[in-house]
Amino acid sequence: MPEIIRSVCPYDCPDACGLLVTVHNGRAVSVCGDPDHPITRGLLCPKMNHYEQTVHSSRRLTTPLRRAGIKGSGAFEPISWETAIAEICDRWAEIIGDHGAEAILPYSYAGTMGLLQRNAGHAFFHKLGASRLERTICSPAKEAGWKTLMGDTPAMDPAEIEQSDLVLLWGINAAATSIHAMRDAQTARRRGARLWAIDTYRTPTCDAADEAFLVRPGGDGALALALLHVIVAENLLEHDFIAANVFGFEQLTARILPDCSPAELSPVCGLPVDVIVRMAREYARARAPFIRLGSGLCRYGNGAMTVRTISCLPAVVGAWAKPGGGIFLGTSTGGAFPLQPVIREDFMTGTPRLVSMNQLGSALTELADPAVRSLYVYHSNPAAIAPDQNAVIRGLEREDLFTVVHERFLTDSARYADIVLPATSSLEHPDLYRSYGSYHAQCCAAAIPPVGGAKSNWEVFSLLAAGMGWDEPFFRQSADELIELLLAEATPWRNRDMTEQLRRGNPLLFTPLTDPKKEWLTRSGKIEIMNECDGEPLPRPLPIHAVSDGFPLRLQPATTPFALNSSFYEQDELRAKQRRIELLMNPDDAEARGLSDQQEVVAWNGRGDVRFTLRITERVPRGTVVTEGVWWREFIPGDRGVNALTSQRLTDGGRGSTLYDVTVEVKCFV
Ligand SMILES: Nc1nc2c(c(=O)[nH]1)N[C@H]1C(S)=C(S)[C@@H](COP(=O)(O)OP(=O)(O)OC[C@H]3O[C@@H](n4cnc5c(=O)[nH]c(N)nc54)[C@H](O)[C@@H]3O)O[C@H]1N2
Ligand SMILES: Nc1nc2c(c(=O)[nH]1)N[C@H]1C(S)=C(S)[C@@H](COP(=O)(O)OP(=O)(O)OC[C@H]3O[C@@H](n4cnc5c(=O)[nH]c(N)nc54)[C@H](O)[C@@H]3O)O[C@H]1N2
Ligand SMILES: [Mo]
């Protein structure tokens, strides 16, 4: 008889959906959204609707493999787990003896968001003394921008969106990346709210909005300053709120805004003066404007400043004081689940060097004292997702680099491995998940046995610890025991009843410890528009990095509803919906280059060149080109994916990736 088992979506998405998995004879037969989950409410995205096709894909790795050809060729021979672990540990012992443990670099990110499996390697690498990875590829600039203005103030409840009368989906492709936020925005709209989308091209989210505003990539800080200029010039301010809650407003008004008129900043943000003026008036006059800020606009050289500047808007119009008003960037619920019992920083002796995951290319090709001699990749696909793919691949090709990849599929990265280890999917191991798009969490047990010889991240680190000859009892615990350690950790966020709910596998909603719309957890106790501890005391227009690269078109490497970063390319039907790796271009830009629709083209800059099929479309404004998805190399015509064009430069705050801060030129492929 088929059985229905509760599980949780493990992917890097704010929604952390509750799943119902139908299991028959040890196989997942179908997956649907849990109707009783407070956020999911039965609605799943197109990617997870057929998660069983990922879990039981014929492409799954089922046994450890050893390289049997040149690096990158994909030629491997099967070996046993015992042999694989022994070979890895022998090589590491040799490397540590010759070069020290810092010559070993772990590389992981967010293949799974489960608090145990995601962090399962930390204790091991801390004890080993390996180089530490700075995990900053996603949106640390967003956090940095928020922190400069708002300190440790937690996020407001995103469900308030439903009470707003003007919803701004800003730099977020919610229809693809946060479908439950999209649903809630549409509920607000049905109740009479207007819905705006602010993006760099016409996404499905723009189609669902009443109005779409298309900005120049990286131009939102300028737009926000121009809006502030109009709001101040036309006295659309909420003076009482500012007097009681805002620090530094006068300095912004006196020192910065005079140079930020719509006329001055229109060329930077790409919107006409009259549109900026109208936006400012409508935003300021709305009863309770709500901004849902995505991560798209933070992956630029000016990303932190952009986020900080936009976040000033609700303060000057007093939106925080109204139900449904404010700005939401994402929840930070670390306090609810302290990770120390799993990551064990106390295992570290000394302070091994930090290597930015955004600069893997340089780490593998330039870093010295010691050079990186071994790379251990788990639940990440750096050969595809990391910036400056040419540098990354040059590194991965090094014969003297010993690479191990623990994966579910033979990804671009796994193809360069000396040893590949097969990984479980989330249905095959237990974990505890917390959302970063609302305040909820849920635990789940394994729903099915491991596929083939796959093992979870935690199991592999347990085996590696034994292989290294360590007798530390920590590594002999089971995954369930570690999850219990996380649950048992006392924190004011959860009382005993709530923790019991989690143990029973029920989704749990919780609330932040302070009122996020009243109590500002900053040094001054106010919203700090001026922050003298920051290198930039006041918001001001900052350029993006790529303007200095000298190529005429801004490239937007965007997301697709049918994949998640480089995940889901194993599902044939989803991949078919994406068709092929395309470059979207405005008709005028195509005409200026003599290019025609469906033609094979090459986009290039100083770092690389990438082949695309051209799609000419009005959805993209002049001066911008767009490509969606992070394709596996086996499914694209050229040898390189979009990240051959992106750079290893970092954001202004948070040391984040600047994956969207790219300029290129385009020509036909011959
Ligand atoms: N289907 C799907 N879902 C996903 C992902 C996925 O790849 N696919 N990725 C997951 C991950 S890891 C993350 S971090 C989140 C990200 O989800 P989002 O926060 O939505 O971020 P992005 O999709 O990166 O960018 C959002 C939008 O910002 C636009 N954008 C880019 N630059 C700018 C700019 O300068 N100004 C403005 N106004 N807009 C800009 C992009 O065109 C895009 O439509 O989504 C998660 N969910
Ligand atoms: N051009 C471009 N580049 C991007 C982005 C973009 O939008 N455009 N997005 C950026 C962003 S926001 C992010 S967050 C990063 C994401 O970068 P990554 O975190 O590397 O994300 P994925 O590409 O989804 O790769 C995750 C891999 O983990 C594997 N996996 C899943 N579960 C497990 C498990 O339990 N154990 C093990 N060992 N493996 C597992 C999956 O099979 C998959 O291959 O990419 C960044 N790179
Ligand atoms: Mo991300």
How far apart are the C-alpha atoms of 666 and 94, rounded to whole Å? 47
Verify that 183 and 275 share a domain, yes or no.
Answer: yes
Structure tokens at 94: 């040799």
Distances (CA, A) of 224 to 170, 399, 455: 11, 49, 48
DSSP string, 16-84: --EEEEEEETTEEEEEEE-TTSTTTTT---TTGGGHHHHHT-TT---S-EEE-SSTTS--EEE--HHHH
Verify that 436 and 483 share a domain, yes or no.
Answer: yes
Verify that 565 and 609 share a domain, yes or no.
Answer: yes
The DSSP code for 417 is -
Location of structure tokens 């870093």? 367
Supply the pLDDT for residue 655: 98
Contact criterion met (CB below 8 Å) for 162 and 156: no
193: in domain:
yes
Residue type, 203: T
521: in domain:
no
Ligand nearest to the CA of 423: 2
Ligand nearest to the CA of 631: 2
Domain stop point among 299, 329, 359: 329
DSSP string, 104-117: EEEEE--S---HHH
Q: Whose alpha carbon is nearest atom 40 of ligand 2?
A: 379
How far apart are the C-alpha atoms of 403 and 384, rounded to whole Å? 16
Nearest to 27 by CA among 450, 625, 320: 450
Q: Whose alpha carbon is nearest atom 8 of ligand 1?
A: 564
Supply the pLDDT for residue 670: 87
Domain stop point among 283, 309, 329: 329
Name the H helices within 178-272: 179-190, 204-208, 220-233, 239-245, 249-251, 262-269
First to last CA, the chain: 58
Q: Which atom of ligand 2 is nearest to the CA of 570?
A: 42
pLDDT tens-digit readout, 59-118? 999 999 999 999 999 999 999 999 999 999 999 999 999 999 999 999 999 999 999 999
Is the pLDDT at 299 greater than 90? The verdict is yes
144: in domain:
no
Percent of the residues in the chain that have a pLDDT greater than 90, as a whole number = 98
> Rounded mean pLDDT of the chain?
97
Ligand nearest to the CA of 566: 2
The DSSP code for 131 is P
Is the pLDDT at 335 greater than 90? The verdict is no
DSSP string, 543-610: --GGGGG--SEEEEEE--TT-BTTBTTT-HHHHHHH-S-EEEE-HHHHHHTT--TT-EEEEE-SS-EE
Verify that 438 and 566 share a domain, yes or no.
Answer: no
How far apart are the C-alpha atoms of 52 and 255, rounded to whole Å? 57
DSSP β-ladder status, 132-134 and 289-293: unpaired
Supply the pLDDT for residue 334: 84
Ligand nearest to the CA of 417: 2
Q: Whose alpha carbon is nearest atom 19 of ligand 2?
A: 110
Consecutive H or E run containing 610: strand 609-616
Supply the pLDDT for residue 185: 97
With the most atoms of ligand 2 within 8 angstroms of its CB, the residue from 377, 565, 631, 664 to mutate is 565
Q: Which atom of ligand 2 is nearest to the CA of 110?
A: 19
Verify that 207 and 77 share a domain, yes or no.
Answer: no
238: in domain:
yes
Supply the pLDDT for residue 459: 98
Which whole number is the average pLDDT over 582-587? 98
51: in domain:
yes
pLDDT tens-digit readout, 94-105? 999 999 999 999
Q: Ligand 1 centre and the CA of 436: distance in Å? A: 15
Ligand nearest to the CA of 109: 2
Q: Whose alpha carbon is nearest atom 20 of ligand 1?
A: 172
How far apart are the C-alpha atoms of 177 and 560, rounded to whole Å? 8
529: in domain:
no
Supply the pLDDT for residue 431: 98
How far apart are the C-alpha atoms of 383 and 412, rounded to whole Å? 6
Verify that 550 and 593 share a domain, yes or no.
Answer: yes
Q: Ligand 1 centre and the CA of 560: distance in Å? A: 9
Please count the other Cβ atoms lying within 10 Å of the Cβ belonging to residue 402: 22
Which whole number is the average pLDDT over 326-342? 93
Q: Which atom of ligand 1 is nearest to the CA of 176?
A: 1
Please count the other Cβ atoms lying within 10 Å of the Cβ belonging to residue 411: 29
CATH number of the CATH domain containing 226: 3.40.228.10
The boundaries of the domain holding residue 279 are: 156-329
pLDDT tens-digit readout, 340-359? 999 999 999 999 999 999 99
Q: Which atom of ligand 2 is nearest to the CA of 566?
A: 23
Supply the pLDDT for residue 333: 85
Domain stop point among 304, 329, 354: 329
377: in domain:
yes
Q: Ligand 2 centre and the CA of 138: distance in Å? A: 10
Domain count, the chain: 4
Task: Provide residues with CB under 6 Å of ligand 1.
Answer: 12-13, 138-139, 170-173, 176-177, 198-201, 203, 215, 217-218, 220, 294-297, 556, 558-561, 563-565, 660
Nearest to 172 by CA among 144, 146, 195: 195
CATH number of the CATH domain containing 10: 3.30.200.210
Q: Ligand 2 centre and the CA of 381: distance in Å? A: 6
With the most atoms of ligand 2 within 8 angstroms of its CB, the residue from 408, 424, 432, 562 to mutate is 408
Is the pLDDT at 279 greater than 90? The verdict is yes
pLDDT tens-digit readout, 10-40? 999 999 999 999 999 999 999 999 999 999 9
Verify that 344 and 315 share a domain, yes or no.
Answer: no
Q: Ligand 3 centre and the CA of 163: distance in Å? A: 28
Verify that 113 and 165 share a domain, yes or no.
Answer: no
Q: Ligand 2 centre and the CA of 405: distance in Å? A: 13
Verify that 23 and 72 share a domain, yes or no.
Answer: no
Which whole number is the average pLDDT over 316-345? 95
Nearest to 216 by CA among 260, 280, 171: 171
Verify that 18 and 70 share a domain, yes or no.
Answer: no
CATH number of the CATH domain containing 431: 3.40.50.740
Supply the pLDDT for residue 493: 92
Task: Provide residues with CB under 6 Å of ligand 2.
Answer: 12, 109-112, 117, 137-138, 378-381, 385, 406-409, 411, 423-424, 457, 557, 559, 564-567, 630, 642-643, 646, 659
Is the pLDDT at 257 greater than 90? The verdict is yes
Q: Ligand 3 centre and the CA of 257: distance in Å? A: 33
475: in domain:
yes
Contact criterion met (CB below 8 Å) for 607 and 644: yes
Q: Which atom of ligand 2 is nearest to the CA of 378?
A: 38
Is the pLDDT at 451 greater than 90? The verdict is yes
Verify that 91 and 205 share a domain, yes or no.
Answer: no
Instruction: Give me the residues near ligand 3 (ion), CB cutoff below 5 Å.
Output: 138
How far apart are the C-alpha atoms of 457 and 177, rounded to whole Å? 26
With the most atoms of ligand 1 within 8 angstroms of its CB, the residue from 51, 113, 170, 177 to mutate is 177
Verify that 313 and 222 share a domain, yes or no.
Answer: yes
Is the pLDDT at 224 greater than 90? The verdict is yes
Q: Whose alpha carbon is nearest atom 47 of ligand 2?
A: 385
Contact criterion met (CB below 8 Å) for 554 and 625: yes
Q: Whose alpha carbon is nearest atom 6 of ligand 2?
A: 565
The DSSP code for 291 is E
Supply the pLDDT for residue 556: 97
Residue type, 129: G
